[in-house]
Chains A and B, each alone.
Chain A
Amino acid sequence: MASSPGSPSSSPRTRAGPRRLLVALACIGLLAASCGTNSGSAAPSAGGPATQAPAISPAASLAGTLTVWAMGNEGVKLKTLADAFMAEHPGVTVNVTPVDWGQAVAKLQTAIAGKQTPDVSQMGTDMMGQFAATGALETVPANFDPATFFESAWNTNIVDGTVYGVPWYVETRLLYYRTDVAEKAGITKAPATWDELTAMAKAMQAKGDAKWGISLGTKNWQEYLPFLWSNGGDVMDASGAYTLNSAQAVEALTYYQSFFKDKLSPDAVPEGFDITPAFVSGTHPMFFSGPWHLGLIKDAGGADLEGKWAIAPMPKKASSTSFLGGSNVVVYKNSANKDLAWAFVQYLADSATQVAWYKEVTDLPATQAAWDDATLKADPNVALFGEQLKDTKAQPATATWSELGTSLNTTLEKLTTGGMAPQEAADEMQANAEKIGG
């Protein structure tokens, strides 16, 4: 903390009041040079402009050692990027430690409690609020321009008005559907609206010989929220008050439940159910998922399935808003070499690196400029994901999100499999959210 004198959020406990004061003082002190740059991207919860630390002046030459933790497939492949970074900067060593996703939260918590954090780590967009609350994350310097990234991706990093991470890669959800089943049912185009989606599911089941019309999650807030957003609703309003039982929410829940009431979507789904073989066999001809299913379906379906399926944007109601997920990159306060850490994050967030990373692991770039690259335009399916990314939202970045998400899932399960009335479900969601707090 002492090593970076301008860092405004160096108070160890993250109580909103004192920290906001510190931030305000820092802003005044810096003549708002850095703080002003973000006024365009207000935090969804905190109202005011999101705060970044003052810009770091680029060092003439970088040196030192960095420890970077990355999860899952990224953890395995990140070494290629680290090697390229080291080749660019001869005095630098970057050690990548792969961490299993299943243990990521517990491992990071342990590292923070033991003050043995890495310098840099990957962090799921849904983990930001939780970890910002620990006070272990460094504030992002003004070197990073919010306008570079997809807005909803950038916003996942803003907790209580301060920016704690930089978007690394993103994902969003689209409709996967079997074109051959649709044609058999007499439909030749993707469902563009909610009504068309229902009609398509009914037709596929009735005339397309499919066991089910669609496969929706029985207890998955990530699948419900796009319907809430597309209907003009949201989890919270601008003041940070929960709005989970708004009229729009009740309508979205009613629509979501209709698929289960009409037996279009299975309501008894075993834990660990794998949609891929069910989609390939045609029993479940529609579902919503992220870009990873492009490869999974190609692998599982082989040549037989080629040309028999397609993807489509989120069906429209008031809007066509889908869910945004993915990962950010954060720097820890305990890091001994923060300038180098941010330089590495800068490298990861660079559009050229983002394109290279897409080629390496097919992670979708979080910077908008990367999507202009020919590689990403070449695959029409990937390009569709790029289109959808422009209309996405993410869950609010609150410290209590993991708890609220679990609570939403429990209520959703009552709605989908237990037959709870939509109004009652909405009121339960709202009551639990208010009890859990933001």
Chain B
Amino acid sequence: MAGPALARRTVADAAPTASAGRGWRWRDDLVGWAFAAPFVILFLVFLAFPIVASFGLSFTSFGLRDLQNPIGATFVGLQNYADLLSDPTFWKALLNTAYFVVVGVPVTLVIGLLIANALNRGVNRFRTAFRVGYYLPVITSIVAIAVVWRFVLNPDVGLVNMLLGAAGIQGPAWLADPALAMPSIIAMAVWRNLGFAMIVFLAGLQSIPGVLYEAASIDGAGRWQAFRFVTLPMLRPTILFMTVITTIGYLQLFEEPFVMTDGGPLDATLSVTMYMYREGFTFFHQGYASAIAYVLFVIVAFVAFLQFKFLRSDA
């Protein structure tokens, strides 16, 4: 409480000596806000307001009947949240998403790190070409990629099964088999997001001073020891950043199953975000969908908190 009072006093004290200055400062503020206005207005209208409104919606049974008179939606308290807890489809979606994250995040990061390492040390000649090649999927439209992968994984005419067939193996129905659908989606997501992990790790690797490796090799460290005792500790902030970013992204899995499997077969690839979309925009249970959104938000925040706690300390 002392802070604001102090600040006010300072302004008040300064006022009599430089009254013209106060006018200037006010105008500076105005100019500053004017420059920031496009962002602030867009943020308030398209982000802050919907976030607050959907929080309110999550306590109502807002549906089709309230479309013409949104204020008239019925307040149901915590009913939506209680319903969610006993909704088997929601739990299924939650488990699917957890499966995707628990397998997908480590695989993406490990392969990304390995490739970054290879590009950093071994491959010199075509480094740029490789970098572009691995990064290209990241900047390609996800829907286009998903459609192409749907063809690649087609059981009858797909590239994967044609190659398997050439090797004498009868390929499975990748996306139509409940046990294989999620692994197939993970494989695609890893391939797509690899490039981003690689670029970030490469930047991290290149910022590690060469003298550290020199010192390590003088101390008799081999390649693995240098990686274990120099690279990994020096990359810790980068790894933390990539883990958090990738986890948050993967927790919101949507486009891949939306385009490739529509959540099937037998809901095996139904993610929390897809379930939210289905409830909110197909069935128009906007109250229920808002509750799902907030549960997901809490989960994302909690997981990010845990990652910061465990990866940041004991550095």
Contacts and interface: CB of A to CB of B under 8 A. Distances in A.
A and B found bound together: yes
Interface string B49-68: 00000000000000011011
B183 interface: no
Contacts of B174: 270
A414 interface: yes
B281 A115 contact: no
Contacts of B154: 270
A397 interface: no
Interface string B40-82: 0000000000000000000000001101111010000000000
A133 interface: yes
A413 B282 contact: no
Interface string B111-143: 000000000000000000000000000000000
A417 B175 contact: no
B8 interface: no
Contacts of B281: 105-106
Interface string B90-105: 0000000000000000
A403 interface: yes
A13 B72 contact: yes
A420 to B, nearest CB: 10
B258 to A, nearest CB: 10
A13 B64 contact: no
Contacts of A271: 150, 175-176, 260-262, 264
B67 A136 contact: yes
B122 to A, nearest CB: 39
A413 B175 contact: no
B29 interface: no
Contacts, number: 78
B255 interface: no
Contacts of A199: none
Interface in B159-180: 173-178
Nearest to A420: B266
A109 B72 CA distance: 17
Given A109-B284, A133-B64, A134-B65, A269 B176 contact: yes
Nearest to B72: A13
B70 A130 contact: no
Contact of B68 (A112, A219, A268): A112
A13 B69 contact: yes
A402 B282 contact: yes
A268 B176 contact: yes
B49 to A, nearest CB: 15
B278 A130 contact: no
A219 B69 contact: no
Contacts of A192: none
A109 B67 contact: yes
B265 interface: yes
* Size bin of chain A's contact surface: 20 to 34
B251 to A, nearest CB: 23
Nearest to A400: B283
B204 interface: no
B177 A268 contact: yes
Contacts of A130: 64, 284
A399 B65 CA distance: 9
A188 interface: no
A173 B70 CA distance: 40
A413 B176 contact: no
B266 A414 contact: yes
A269 B174 CA distance: 10
Given A106-B281, A268-B155, A270-B155, A135 B264 contact: no
A12 B67 CA distance: 11
Contact of B176 (A106, A131, A270): A270
A188 to B, nearest CB: 30
A307 interface: no
Interface in A200-243: 218-219
A97 interface: no
Interface in B243-287: 260-262, 264-267, 278, 281-284
Given A106-B281, A268-B155, A270-B175, A12 B265 contact: no
Contacts of A362: none
Contacts of A106: 281
A105 B278 CA distance: 12
Contact of A270 (B69, B173, B266): B173
Contacts of A302: none
B89 to A, nearest CB: 8
A403 B154 CA distance: 29
A334 to B, nearest CB: 9
A406 interface: yes
A112 B283 CA distance: 16
B68 A135 contact: yes
A417 B265 contact: yes
A136 B174 CA distance: 44
A414 B266 CA distance: 7
A58 interface: no
A146 B261 CA distance: 41
A400 B284 CA distance: 10
A133 B65 CA distance: 6
A413 B68 contact: no
Most buried by A among B65, B67, B155, B283: B67
Interface of B: 64-65, 67-70, 72, 150, 153-155, 173-178, 260-262, 264-267, 278, 281-284
Given A105-B281, A112-B67, A135-B68, 14 more contacts: A12-B68, A13-B72, A109-B64, A130-B284, A136-B68, A270-B155, A270-B174, A270-B176, A271-B175, A271-B261, A272-B150, A399-B65, A402-B283, A418-B266
6 contacts: A13-B65, A113-B68, A270-B175, A406-B282, A414-B266, A418-B178
Nearest 5 A/B pairs, CB to CB: A268-B173, A268-B176, A403-B283, A134-B67, A133-B64
